[in-house]
Amino acid sequence: MAKWIHRVCQACFEAERLPRQWNISKVTPIYKSGNKSDCPNYRTILSQCAAAKIFSTIILARMYPDIDRTIDNSQVAFRRGRSGLEVIHATQLLIDKCNAFELPLTLTSTDFRKAFDKTSRNHVYESLRLARVHPKYIRIVRNCYESAKAMIRLHRKERTIDLKSRLRQGDCWSPLLFICGLDRVLSQRIR
């Protein structure tokens, strides 16, 4: 089985795309809270087949060093060896020091609600290019996202739809692609 997956992953790498069936994700609604008959009260997770996840994980491992090297050190979410607890602790120390010396302090926080749903793929592709990710990996990511489909099952009927405008919730690339795009926006705003 491992040899077969290796051969298929090599073929996908050379072709810079996945087999059509691998790019169809199953939609799984996860209830959050509120009225169960209200669609906004569900988060949708897209489940890929195992072979597609293996291929995606390999590509992620190859892209990660380039992206990690370019992302600002203040960005700790979705990064290896980083923790939000460090940021919380540093913020608490800053608050304590400002209070002790009676200095003014303004803190802001952003809730990126539906962040993956609203992230422009073209912005992500450009962010990957600026992070100097190898063009082959960018083409693979682009081809996988541009041919992405979701299979929805409702009342024993299935329907496949194109996924056009977002990063996939449940995809191993999405967190890293999101912070790569976010870092580009933040670095442009801070300059």
**pLDDT tens digits along 82-121:** 888 888 999 999 999 999 999 999 998 777 777 888 889 9
Give the Å distances, CA to CA, from 107 to 91, 97, 184, 190.
9, 14, 21, 16
Query: pLDDT value at position 92?
Result: 96
**Interior CA angle at 81 toward 77 and 85, to 5°?**
55
The low-confidence residues of the chain, meaning pLDDT below 50, are: none
CA atoms within 13 Å, Cβ hemisphere of 57: 10
Query: pLDDT value at position 43?
Result: 83
DSSP assignment letter at 185: H
Query: pLDDT value at position 191?
Result: 55
Residues present in the chain in total: 191
Closest CA to 141 of 11, 23, 2, 50: 23
Task: Spell out the residues 6+ positions from residue 32 whose beta carbon is closer than 8 angstroms to its own.
Answer: 41, 42, 43
Strand pairing report for 24-31 and 42-47: antiparallel
Query: pLDDT value at position 132?
Result: 95
Query: pLDDT value at position 75?
Result: 83
Query: pLDDT value at position 29?
Result: 86
Contact between 183 and 71 (Cβ < 8 Å): yes
Query: pLDDT value at position 58?
Result: 96
Contact between 173 and 59 (Cβ < 8 Å): yes
Give the Å distances, CA to CA, from 56 to 7, 36, 79, 145.
15, 33, 17, 11
**How far apart, in whole angstroms, are the C-alpha atoms of residue 46 and residue 34?**
22
Contact between 63 and 188 (Cβ < 8 Å): no
